[in-house]
């Protein structure tokens, strides 16, 4: 069966539709019907064949390829969204609500306007919704998002100098934990392990599998190992290079020995633990 893949907005999940014999190129726009009404979606996967078992059924058909009028409507929606953003910010201030407006989206068929916001607490915005509905004469939806979603929507550069992972290529957020940071050898300093959103860096998650493998073949700090020169305690490790810093059990005053993990035999391995006080100190960024 023939399919195309589309995305709604700049980021997010790819959805499959039947092209109905229409040829699409990557970057085209397709008019499709969704549970939220008619939408203008971005084609990210042009026409291709797929097995029926790989596609969620029933496969909805594309209505048509976007034309000049549709692109003009998109431009108008962008201008209307910018105006609505300014108006909503003023209304939020008038109602004295502790919330930060992030983005405004108009539905392609003008059936509703969605306002995305962040807030540390629950907000009673019922009066705000009434005010906005009266002002714009449209159905209003206010949607609270988290700080990670905020960073994804706004975009920016991470500590590494590259575009935010969540903005560039990550489609879904993965769980990130303090334990991951400790297993990867990071100092548990919020400034070192948190991103611009103030939460643990997403890259800790997608690199974790590699670190788990390296940890499985590398003696941990505190391990007792056997070498041709006797037994040593592991005082430091470099997971990526596999180099270990060892301290002699027989002669603790001797100079440290540096050796590759392949040159030792583990007698008793060490453990990586996250203390309760460490978790409590960093709970706000997890």
Contact 229, 254 (CB under 8 A): no
Domain containing 141 — which CATH number?
A: 3.30.300.20
What is the pLDDT, as a whole number, of residue 257? Answer: 93
- Give pLDDT tens digits for 231-277: 999 999 999 999 999 999 999 999 999 999 999 999 999 988 888 88
Domains in the chain: how many in total?
A: 3
Answer whether residue 215 is part of any domain.
Answer: no
Task: Give me the residue label for tokens 């020995």.
Answer: 257
pTM of the model: 0.71
- pLDDT of 75 > 90? The answer is yes
Verify that 46 and 78 share a domain, yes or no.
no
CB 220 within 8 A of CB 237: yes
Is 185 part of a structural domain of the chain? Answer: no
For residue 11, what pLDDT is reported? 67
Alpha helices by DSSP H, the chain: 68-95, 126-136, 147-154, 165-168, 178-183, 190-193, 203-206, 208-217, 276-282
For 186-224, the pLDDT digits (tens) are 888 888 898 888 889 988 888 899 999 999 999 999 999
Cross-strand pairs, 17: 4
Q: Are 224 and 233 within 8 A, CB to CB?
A: yes
Q: Encode pLDDT of 144-196 as tens digits.
A: 988 888 888 888 888 888 888 888 877 778 888 898 998 898 888 888 898 88
Look at residue 180 and give its three-state secondary structure.
Answer: helix
Confirm whether 82 is domain-assigned.
Answer: yes
Identify the domain containing residue 88 by its residue range: 72-145
Question: By percentage, how much of the chain surpasses pLDDT 70?
Answer: 99
Mean pLDDT of 3-31: 88
Does residue 279 surpass a pLDDT of 90?
Answer: no
The pLDDT, as a whole number, for residue 210 is: 92
153, part of any domain: no
* Residue 132 within a domain: yes
């Amino acid at each position: 069966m023939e399919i195309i893949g589309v995305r709604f907005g700049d980021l997010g999940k790819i959805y499959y539709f039947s092209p109905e014999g229409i040829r699409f190129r990557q970057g085209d726009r397709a008019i499709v019907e969704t549970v939220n009404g008619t939408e203008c979606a971005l084609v990210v996967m042009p026409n291709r064949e797929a097995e029926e078992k790989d596609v969620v059924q029933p496969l909805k058909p594309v209505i048509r390829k976007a034309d000049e009028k549709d692109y003009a409507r998109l431009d108008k929606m962008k201008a209307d969204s910018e105006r609505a953003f300014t108006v909503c910010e003023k209304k939020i201030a008038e109602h004295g609500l502790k919330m930060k407006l992030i983005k405004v989206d108009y539905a392609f068929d003008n059936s509703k306007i969605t306002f995305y916001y962040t807030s540390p607490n629950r907000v009673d915005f019922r009066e705000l919704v009434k005010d906005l509905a009266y002002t714009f004469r449209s159905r209003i939806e206010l949607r609270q998002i988290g700080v990670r979603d905020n960073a994804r929507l706004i975009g920016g550069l991470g500590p590494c100098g590259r575009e935010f992972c969540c903005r560039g290529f990550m489609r879904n957020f993965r769980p990130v934990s303090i334990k991951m940071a400790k297993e990867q050898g990071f100092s548990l300093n919020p400034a070192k392990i948190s991103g611009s959103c103030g939460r643990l860096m997403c890259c800790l998650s997608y690199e974790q599998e590699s670190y788990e493998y390296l940890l499985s073949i590398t003696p941990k700090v505190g391990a007792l190992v056997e070498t041709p020169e006797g037994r040593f305690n592991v005082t430091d490790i470099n997971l990526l290079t596999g180099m270990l810093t060892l301290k002699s059990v027989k002669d603790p005053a001797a100079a440290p020995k540096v050796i590759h993990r392949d040159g030792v035999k583990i007698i008793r391995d060490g453990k990586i633990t996250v203390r309760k006080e460490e978790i409590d100190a960093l709970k706000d960024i997890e």
